[in-house]
């Protein structure tokens, strides 16, 4: 394979990886930015999205329905959790949230294992996305290109949503100053429930998109939660743009690291995070040190 083709292959791989990481990270950072909650259950919800996607694909025979349905289902579940449990904790210190979302991660993880069994499940990609496309005489899986495209579309959508949509502006206002927003008549509690739900839905979206590529497995939650935290820490907790940059950075470090120095790829990721934290304790674009 020519060097250019190799580079292109790896870049596409890295971009598709970044897209998946972005879906994970953006939900986590939105939730943190608004509610100062570190959602430890994010990885488990990602995994839940993958398994729900599996089931929906099997029941309906239609992956696209699963793609729409899984994030919706998990998002609603997240909102319900916020309404029943998280709401009680706003008056307590931040550690309570960490613990409770950790408990949620355990519960969801176990529930998934009990419901779908311990084996990894195949989720077939729809026929339209299953093939390969040739560029520079090299085959590129269509699915990966689809992931990249989806990543771009969702990123732009969220960006515009935060910039222009009424709810988006309310979210940003409440993130910066909840008391002020409340005083101005914004229903802060409703916004919090929405954002938590959206964040969970985005995680599930990542899961259902990842499933055809990596299969739905019980180990997903664990590996993926660390990745999510790393990107958000690097990019800066609470920063949308930070999560995008973090996802790109880590996607590339992971893919190129795995190719050129597989034994050290994992270490690279942590070293990058360490380096960023040493230089800017709040992350590249973060608000909090």
Residues that bind another protein (CB under 8 A): 32, 38, 85, 88-89, 92, 95-96, 98-100, 102-107, 109-111, 114, 222, 226, 229-230, 233, 237, 263, 266-267, 270, 273-274, 277-278, 281-283, 288-289
Q: Can you say whether the dihedral through the CA atoms of 94, 95, 98, 101 is positive or negative?
A: negative
- Minimum separation from the CB atom of position 31 to another protein (A): 12
Contact 49, 70 (CB under 8 A): yes
- Minimum separation from the CB atom of position 271 to another protein (A): 9
Closer CB to another protein, 50 or 105, in the complex: 105
- Minimum separation from the CB atom of position 121 to another protein (A): 19
Q: Is 128 exposed, middle or buried (0-12, 13-18, 19+ CB in 10 A)?
A: exposed
Closer CB to another protein, 8 or 80, in the complex: 80
- Minimum separation from the CB atom of position 54 to another protein (A): 20
Closer CB to another protein, 74 or 154, in the complex: 74
Contact 209, 147 (CB under 8 A): yes
**Residue 233 CA: distances (Å) to CA of 6, 60, 176, 226:** 30, 38, 19, 10
Closer CB to another protein, 111 or 128, in the complex: 111
- Minimum separation from the CB atom of position 133 to another protein (A): 34
Contact 249, 209 (CB under 8 A): no
- Minimum separation from the CB atom of position 100 to another protein (A): 5
- Minimum separation from the CB atom of position 222 to another protein (A): 6
């Amino acid at each position: 394979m020519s060097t250019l083709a190799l580079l292109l292959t790896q870049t596409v791989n890295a971009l598709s990886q970044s897209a998946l990481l972005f879906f994970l990270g953006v939900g986590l950072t939105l939730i943190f930015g608004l509610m100062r909650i570190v959602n430890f259950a994010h990885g488990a919800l990602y995994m839940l999205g993958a398994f729900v996607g599996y089931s929906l694909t099997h029941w309906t025979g239609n992956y696209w329905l699963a793609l729409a349905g899984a994030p919706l289902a998990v998002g609603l579940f997240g909102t319900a959790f916020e309404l029943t449990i998280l709401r009680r904790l706003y008056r307590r210190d931040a550690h309570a949230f960490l613990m409770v979302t950790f408990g949620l991660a355990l519960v969801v993880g176990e529930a998934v294992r009990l419901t779908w069994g311990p084996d990894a499940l195949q989720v077939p990609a729809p026929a339209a996305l299953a093939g390969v496309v040739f560029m520079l005489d090299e085959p590129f899986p269509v699915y990966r290109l689809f992931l990249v495209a989806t990543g771009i579309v969702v990123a732009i959508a969220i960006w515009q949503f935060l910039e222009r949509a009424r709810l988006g502006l309310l979210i940003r206002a409440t993130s910066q100053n909840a008391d002020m927003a409340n005083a101005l008549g914004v229903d802060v509690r409703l916004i919090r429930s929405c954002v938590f739900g959206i964040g969970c839905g985005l995680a599930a979206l990542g899961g259902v998109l990842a499933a055809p590529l990596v299969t739905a497995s019980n180990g997903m939650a664990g590996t993926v939660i660390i990745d999510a935290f790393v990107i958000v820490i690097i990019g800066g907790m609470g920063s949308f743009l930070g999560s995008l940059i973090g996802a790109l950075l880590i996607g590339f470090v992971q893919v190129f690291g795995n190719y050129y120095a597989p034994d050290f790829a994992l270490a690279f990721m942590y070293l990058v995070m360490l380096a960023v934290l040493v230089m800017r304790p709040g992350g590249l674009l973060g608000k909090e040190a």
